[in-house]
Structure 1
Amino acid sequence: MENKEKILIVEDEFIVANDLKMILKKGGYNVVGIASSAAQARTMIAAKKPDWVLLDIILKGSETGIDLAKELNGSKTPFLFISANTNQSTLEAVKKTQPYGFMVKPFREKDLLVMLDIARYRYALEHQVSAPLTDTNRQASAFNGIIGNSQSLKEILNRINIVAPTETSVLITGESGTGKERVAHAIHEHSDRKNKPIVVVNCAALPLSLVESELFGYEKGAFTGANSRKIGKFEQADGGTLFLDEIGELPLDAQVKLLRVLQEKEIERIGGEQTIKIDVRIVAATNRSLEREVAEGRFRLDLYYRLNVFPVELPPLRERKEDIPQLAMHFLQKFNAAANRDIKTFNPKVLEQMAQYNWPGNIRELEHLIERSTLLAFGDEISEINLPSNTAINILPSETGVLQSLEDMERNHIMQTLQACGGKVFGPGGAAEILKIPPTTLYSKMKKLGIQQEHY
């Protein structure tokens, strides 16, 4: 079935351009031409008025696809990038042009058509060609465990609605505690894979030596101690979704294998002699800047682009404070039931205190605070809440009037964070998570700085 949308291909390699043309025509698109330079593209855009432009970055002549993209942005012509020529500065320049998609060569025919489907849906949603979901309450109620009425949350839910029914990989970004795993579950629950498992892997918690055996499994006798066959996470998730949390922690060797799985849809168990076909959708999450990780050589650029077909960026709680009362009431009801309490509300003073606080631990910090407050409350309302007075680094002079050393500032900041977390060092809502460093690093710093339990 033809959708009759017109696409202009801007690509300087004839063979690649011709392959693209055949894929698009097979997918029902009307390819109105092929341009090999930005100048030729301008002429064809004026004459053919395409609905979409498919852009390579490196073109004939002195101008690049990025130069042309800036003009397309100005004229409101939607476009997508397809390129094999990328580096960190290119990546940053591409992001500034706000494309509707970016795909790395080589790619599968299906990947291109899925990217175009998503791009068209996003474009229609933004321009209200198709009716977007505008009732935020109705949206939130459809996603179990996602609470709030803010505009930023509404936009996240719209993006989930767009991507959930597709097969594309999703990259969820955001600070620790913003609800990335909850969003991953929502994507799975609203997909055609909902009756199959969603398997969660915390990449940060996997010891380096066990990453590949956990993900891909192993055969009996593959190494010392392998006394039986182990089925890896990919096989466990077959037919469903694999959620790779904190994917920025995945070592480079495992990234190479993950990229192969995304490309070939098959795995090999360690010690195995045959490939195993798998049908798994990848949803990944990170609290790191993967662009920075790519630039510093810790994350593969080609894997980044494979995962980043459809990014979902979660805002920190400090940017959606209007959701705090509803979130707080949700957690109050949850912990009322768990503790057999009947606390009905929050004192207005408490709500004001929560609105003024910046929540470095985000929703997870709010949840833990409500849990403690529920246990400590008297009567039928929460009238007091123990918020940290200040979690920022103290850069003012000390009591002696002398500026603190960098070591003293670090010691004070760690102790303030530990106090805010009730002394919890690692795990959800712990100091390591809020400080965004591995627990082993935090313990090492505490030992070096002489921070002992009695200090916090």
Structure 2
Amino acid sequence: MSLKEKILIVEDEFIVANDLRIMLAKAGYTMCGIASSVEQARELIALKDPDWVLLDITLKTPVSGIELAKELFLQKKPFLFISANTNQATLEAAKTTQPYGFLVKPFRERDLLVMLDIARYRYSAEHSAVQNNQAVVSDDENNFPDIIGKGPALKKALEKIRAVARSNSSVLLLGESGTGKERFAQAVHRASNRKNKPLVTVNCAALPLSLLESELFGHERGAFTGANQKRIGKFEQANGGTIFLDEIGELPLDAQMKLLRVLQEREVPRLGGDMPVPVDVRVIAATNRNLEKEVAEGKFRLDLYYRLNVFPIELPPLRERTEDIPSLVAYFLKKFALMLGKPVPEISKEAMQSLMEYRWPGNIRELEHIIERQVILAISNEITDFDLPVHLEKNTGSTSFETMEQMERNHIMNALKLCKGRVSGANGAAEILGLPAQTVYSKMKKHGIESGYK
């Protein structure tokens, strides 16, 4: 962030606001005032036209920080949130206003300066990406053939892919399990200038900590017992191309620190090697976790979060893009009919309606598995019914819903019950859920589900 740019602080706790002012002034930033309310902030914004706003989410005033954030978004004035509130509903509401950073109290001076630096980089990356997008995109109503659908929620995510693809900015794919993060990562890579170089995928949840460094960074022969030959790690394999770090939120803190060092230094330390190996890699990460909440709870490093969250893309859950369900169903019907050597079956209106009304806690992955199962079982040319779980609410627009965490927990527990507690192997819960067994174990631990659950 240019030190000539002006910063407005909107914070109703004097001590916090003054500490911020001192930190920023010490670092050489230009201050244009402190506002303790939204009304005062509006006056200062009109009078001094700040370049950036540091905004407390939970102002103890009639108008909240989130309401001001909505106004700033419409004014196209970049802002960053500061808050001591780690309530998930508040964090989700704050995220919808698209801030350029999020700092949780209490924080260190270094955290503040890093956040500002990353915010500036992200802001400039977005604007240059939009300019590049306007220059090159005009013929692409569907230049992502592997991503099915044309609804507004999906189009919004695809527009962001088109905007960021040609830059080297880190991309963070956010969304529930089963929303197609790997396909979106592939789409970013194929639309980038690195498309002729490798795309290497790493499932962070499936990497045991003992093997993580060796898998990601490689090792020399003799580096440890059993290292009988040199191994090239995933980052080196992706050199010149893209590395996709799926389920990044599952990485333990020790591994997060080592990953951060690689992203900062752009070189990997092979185990047993004398010198680090330079790498040129574009990073795409994905998670279904709320990383702001993980940061607030000390489970995810703030500095790594800022490194990854340069260009976030939110992938919509299937229940928010029901208009795409018929296209997805047609795609999966054709796919599995061809695989099984069967004619592509038709679907009755009633059967399609049941799919449209279902809540889809497992998203596209769950739809794919249900269609596959139905094609296997089909004995006629028409599918008139789907065996959908009856314990979940239909997509009727009711406002009384389970949280995403409750739905995920219940979904896993029902799969475990169906499999008599078996997680891995044939007919295990992991297979039914379409997830690696290690991921299911991780989610069970997260939700407090006993491994022997029946």
TM-score normalized by the length of structure 2: 0.73
Among 27, 41, 52, the residue aligned to 1:54: 52
Distance 2:373 2:169 in 1: 40
Task: Tell me how far 1:89 sits from its aligned partner.
Answer: 4.9
Letter in 2 for 1:117: S
Q: SS of the counterpart of 1:438?
A: helix
Asked if structure 2 preserves the Cα contact closer than 8 Å seen for 1:80 and 1:102, the reply is no
- Structure-1 separation of matches of 2:261 and 2:304: 9
Structure 1 residue aligned with 2:75: 77
**Contact 2:173/2:284 (CA < 8 Å) preserved in 1?**
yes
Larger mean Cα displacement after TM superposition, 109-118 or 280-289: 109-118
Write the distance in 1 (CA, Å) between the matches of 2:442 and 2:118: 35
- The residue that corresponds to 1:398 in the other structure is none
Aligned partners of 1:159 and 1:46: how far apart in 2? 30
Q: Distance in 2 between the 1:389 and 1:143 partners?
A: 34
1:116 aligns with 2:123: yes
Deviation at 1:248, TM superposition (A): 1.0
Matched-pair contact (CA < 8 Å) for 1:171–1:285: yes
Sort the Cα spacing of 1:100 and 1:438 in 2 relative to 1 into closer, same or farther, 3 A: closer
Q: Name the structure 2 match of 1:281.
A: 282
Q: Report how far residue 429 of structure 1 moved.
A: 2.6
Paired residue type of 2:259: L
SS of aligned partner of 2:313 = strand
- How far does residue 383 in structure 1 lie from its aligned partner after superposition? 3.0
Structure-2 residue corresponding to 1:357: 358
How much does 1:100 deviate? 4.7
Alpha-carbon displacement from aligned partner over 1:183-228 (angstroms, at most 9, x marks no partner): 1111111111111111000011111211111111111221111122
2: CA distance, partners of 1:412 / 1:279: 42
CA contact (8 A) 1:418 1:431 kept: no
Quickly say closer, same or farther: Cα 1:334–1:49, change in 2 above 3 A. same
Q: Measured at CA, do residues 38 and 445 of structure 1 come closer, stay the same or move farther in structure 2, by a change above 3 Å?
A: closer
Report the alpha carbon displacement of residue 8 of structure 1 after superposing the two structures with TM: 3.5
How much has 1:381 moved relative to structure 2? 2.8
Could you report, residue by residue, the CA deviation over 1:127-157 in whole angstroms, capped at 9, with x for unpaired residues? xx9699899xx53x21131111221111111
% identical equivalent positions: 43
The CA distance in 1 between the partners of 2:241 and 2:85, in whole Å, is 33
Question: 1:221 matched to which residue of 2?
Answer: 222
Q: Quick one: structure 1 residues 263 and 15, their matched pair in 2 at CA, closer, same or farther if it must change by over 3 Å? A: farther
Q: Which residue does 1:37 correspond to in 2?
A: 33
- Is the alpha carbon distance of 1:301 and 1:411 closer, same or farther for their aligned partners in structure 2, counting shifts above 3 Å? closer
Task: Tell me the distance in 1 between the aligned counterparts of 2:411 and 2:185.
Answer: 34
SS of the counterpart of 1:37?
Answer: strand
Of residues 357-366 and 375-384 in structure 1, the stretch that sits farther from structure 2 once superposed is: 375-384
Note the alpha carbon deviations across 1:227-270, whole angstroms, 9 max, x for none. Answer: 22111111111111111111111111110011112222122111
Which residue pairs with 1:102 in the alignment? 101
Deviation at 1:172, TM superposition (A): 1.0
Secondary structure at the counterpart of residue 387 of structure 2: coil
- Amino acid aligned to 1:115: R
Measured at CA, do residues 264 and 94 of structure 1 come closer, stay the same or move farther in structure 2, by a change above 3 Å?
Answer: farther
Could you tell me which residue of structure 1 aligns to residue 234 of structure 2? Answer: 233
Partner SS state of residue 166, structure 1: coil
Which residue number in structure 2 is paired with residue 16 of structure 1? 27
Provide the rounded CA distance (Å) in 2 between the counterparts of 1:385 and 1:108. Answer: 49
CA–CA distance in structure 2, aligned partners of residues 439 and 15 of structure 1: 44
User: SS state of the match for residue 369, structure 1?
Assistant: helix
> For the residues of structure 1 that align with 2:301 and 2:135, how far apart are their CA atoms?
38
Distance 1:431 1:215, change over 3 A: closer
Contact 1:9 1:54 in 2 (8 A): yes
Residue of structure 1 aligned with 2:433, choices 416, 429, 442: 429
**Post-superposition CA distance 1:354-384 (Å, at most 9, x none):** 1122222211111111112222223433333
Report the AA paired with residue 71 of structure 2. G
Cα distance, 1:181 vs. partner? Answer: 0.7
CA RMSD of aligned residues (A): 4.3
Given the superposition, is the C-alpha separation of residues 100 and 120 from structure 1 closer, same or farther in structure 2, using an over 3 Å criterion? farther
Cross-structure match for 1:369: 370
1:324 deviation in Å?
Answer: 0.9
**Pair 1:188–1:86, CA change in 2 (3 A):** farther
- TM-score when normalising by structure 1: 0.73
In structure 2, distance between residues paired with 1:130 and 1:412? 47
1:417 and 1:431 in contact (8 A); partners too? no
Give the whole-Å Cα distance in 2 for the aligned partners of 1:365 and 1:238: 34
Q: Distance in 2 between matches of 1:201 and 1:317?
A: 24
Q: How many residues align?
A: 397
Select between 165-174 and 38-47 the one with higher mean Cα deviation: 38-47
SS of the residue 2:274 aligns to: coil
Whether contact under 8 Å (2:130, 2:164) holds in the other structure is: no
Equivalent residue, structure 1, for 2:186: 185
Contact 1:164 1:188 in 2 (8 A): yes
Q: Name the CA shift for 1:269/1:279 in 2 (closer, same or farther; >3 Å).
A: same
Counterpart of 2:34 in structure 1: which amino acid?
A: A
Within-5 A mapping of 1:82-93: 89=86, 92=91
- Equivalent residue, structure 1, for 2:442: 438
Q: CA 1:249/1:410 → structure 2, altered by over 3 Å: closer, same or farther?
A: closer
Q: Which residue of 2 aligns with 1:147?
A: 148
Give, in whole Å, the separation in 1 of the partners of 2:161 and 2:387.
35
Determine if contact 1:255/1:303 at 8 Å carries over to the other structure. yes
Q: Distance in 1 between matches of 2:358 and 2:98?
A: 36
My pick for the range that moved more, 379-388 or 94-103, is 94-103
> What does residue 330 of structure 1 align with?
331
Deviation at 1:390, TM superposition (A): 2.5
